[in-house]
């Protein structure tokens, strides 16, 4: 089940809210959330729900074991075993086929490649599970004695299959209270509908435009740039829209999830871009991999090794293909260059030029991300005139003309312009009217927008079969 599905919007979510709000206390509300979270996951993964339950049980037990050990060495050993089992499960289900294919490059080897279906959301919930036992080891939280709370933390449906990656210490108290205010519900509904519109109105439409460019104008340089530009917009609205919906749903049930995107396409460097894109994943690798490896508090050679290790793992996290590893190392190169050489040049450039530089690097990187295998390098070559018949064509121009308004609207909505206009309007209203009237007017406006967006998205979902979530395959 996905958030942008009519069954979710008009059956699952209303029934969940009804049962949640008629529940008499926190324990009952946690029970309702847990039951619906399991139903949500089982809807798409009726078999692999057992794997997710096993992962929760494993990390619940290792949390207790790490806390029970009396010596530092014992705690460290228990943590290492727990992390090892988590990574082994992730490795078997996500990387086994890739590993065997890599081994088959060795002379004389022709091992059968296992074909194992990728469990939905395994990368996200495995990282969350490891976060729990690592934070118990570090003393940031106490081990949870009730398995139900650990299970709810891991399988809580808003962020279960595509993030944001949530840390146990951030939601422990919220799970205990399960208290929701009217203000939280209002905030959550608004955020959810903004995310739904991002997904249904922009991501799906940009995805179709992307397919048209690559399928019908892929023999020209400009056609490939058009295709990858629409793909960049598609993946942004897809993933940030999902994160907005997840954060909005969290608010509606009393949870405050971390932000995952901060307008990454206005970044003025690659360093800035990765402070804005998928922030919970970047923060996870920083706190649980990069810093434990030594971060930048070491020799220059070790620092370089740390950066390339983290970014190789970041690429590999996204998928078991060489192009994802190349994509991660590609960013590692530019991050190192910016920290050592380019920062002096970039600091002197106007902001617009710095943004153009960052977006050029990002768009080329998305071509590595879009294709799999050797086609990734072929795609990059086409951006620079290698393997195409010309710079542009009549059909390429027609595609840009047909999708021009979509492109302009999507670019505007990928910037803070809309948010800033709302802030200006709110401030003007508050200066000219009394606070109660200003609040009532703002609520009426947002309610009207929510209703309009719901109607528009519903009509789009009824008439459109193209509704994939890109990040579900990670």
> Would you call 99 helix, strand, or coil by DSSP?
helix
Query: 52 CB contacts (<8 Å, ≥6 apart)?
Result: 41, 45, 119, 121, 122, 125, 154, 155
Half-sphere exposure of 397 (CA within 13 A, CB side): 5
> Would you call 390 helix, strand, or coil by DSSP?
strand
**Angstrom distance (rounded) from CA 300 to CA 461:** 52
| Structure tokens belonging to residue 155 | 């399988």
**Angstrom distance (rounded) from CA 389 to CA 380:** 15
The single residue of 72, 318, 321, 343 carrying the catalytic annotation is: 318
**Angstrom distance (rounded) from CA 231 to CA 222:** 14
Residue of 138, 147, 127, 45 whose CA lies nearest to 83: 127
Neighbouring CB atoms inside 10 A of 389's CB total 9
Report CA-CA distances (Å) from 308 to 112, 244, 296, 317, 330. 31, 30, 12, 14, 9
For 198-321, where are the alpha helices, taking DSSP H only?
204-216, 221-252, 270-276, 279-285, 291-293, 300-318
- DSSP structural state of residue 151: H
**Angstrom distance (rounded) from CA 347 to CA 269:** 10
> Would you call 220 helix, strand, or coil by DSSP?
strand
The separation between CA 72 and the C-alpha centre of its own chain, rounded to angstroms, equals 35
Query: 237 CB contacts (<8 Å, ≥6 apart)?
Result: 198, 199, 202, 203, 206, 410, 413, 414
**Angstrom distance (rounded) from CA 466 to CA 281:** 27
Is 72 among the catalytic positions? no
Half-sphere exposure of 398 (CA within 13 A, CB side): 6
Catalytic residues: 318
């Amino acid at each position: 089940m996905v958030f942008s599905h009519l069954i979710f919007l008009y059956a699952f979510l209303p029934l969940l809210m009804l049962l949640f709000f008629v529940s008499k206390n926190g324990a009952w509300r946690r029970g309702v959330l847990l039951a619906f979270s399991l139903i949500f996951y089982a809807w798409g993964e009726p078999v692999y729900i057992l794997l997710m339950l096993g992962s929760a049980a494993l990390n619940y037990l290792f949390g207790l074991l790490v806390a029970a050990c009396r010596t530092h060495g014992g705690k460290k050993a228990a943590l290492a075993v727990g992390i090892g089992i988590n990574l082994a499960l992730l490795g078997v289900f996500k990387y086994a086929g890739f590993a065997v294919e890599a081994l088959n490059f060795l002379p004389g080897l022709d091992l059968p490649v296992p074909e194992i279906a990728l469990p939905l959301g395994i990368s996200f919930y495995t990282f969350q599970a490891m976060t729990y036992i690592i934070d118990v080891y570090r003393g940031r939280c106490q081990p949870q004695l009730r398995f139900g709370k650990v299970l709810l933390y891991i399988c809580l449906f808003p962020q279960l299959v595509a993030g944001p990656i949530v840390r146990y210490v951030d939601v422990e108290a919220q799970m205990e209270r399960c208290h929701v205010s009217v203000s939280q519900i209002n905030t959550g509904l608004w955020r959810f509908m903004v995310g739904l519109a991002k997904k249904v109105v922009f991501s799906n439409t940009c995805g179709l435009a992307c397919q048209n460019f690559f399928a019908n104008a892929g023999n020209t340089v400009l056609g490939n740039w058009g295709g990858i530009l629409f793909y960049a917009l598609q993946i942004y609205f897809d993933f940030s829209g999902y994160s907005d919906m997840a954060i909005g749903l969290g608010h509606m049930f009393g949870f405050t999830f971390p932000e995952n995107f901060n307008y990454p396409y206005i970044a003025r460097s690659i360093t800035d871009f990765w402070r804005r894109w998928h922030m919970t994943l970047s923060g996870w690798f920083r706190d649980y991999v990069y810093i434990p490896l030594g971060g930048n508090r070491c020799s220059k050679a070790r620092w370089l090794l740390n950066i390339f290790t983290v970014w190789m793992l970041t690429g590999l996290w996204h998928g078991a293909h060489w192009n994802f590893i190349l994509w991660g190392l590609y960013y590692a190169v530019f991050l190192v260059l910016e920290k050592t050489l380019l920062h002096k040049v970039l600091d002197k450039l106007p902001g617009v030029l710095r943004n153009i530089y960052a977006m050029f690097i990002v768009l080329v990187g998305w071509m590595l991300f879009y294709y799999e295998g050797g086609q990734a390098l072929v795609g990059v070559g086409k951006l620079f005139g290698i393997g195409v018949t010309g710079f542009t064509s009549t059909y390429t121009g027609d595609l840009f003309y047909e999708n021009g308004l979509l492109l302009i609207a999507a670019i505007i909505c990928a910037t803070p312009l809309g948010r800033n206009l709302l802030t200006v309007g709110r401030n003007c209203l508050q200066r000219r009217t009394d606070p109660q009237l200003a609040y009532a007017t703002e609520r009426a406006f947002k309610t009207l927008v929510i209703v309009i967006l719901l109607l528009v998205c519903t009509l789009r979902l009824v008439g459109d079969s193209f509704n994939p979530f890109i990040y579900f395959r990670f």
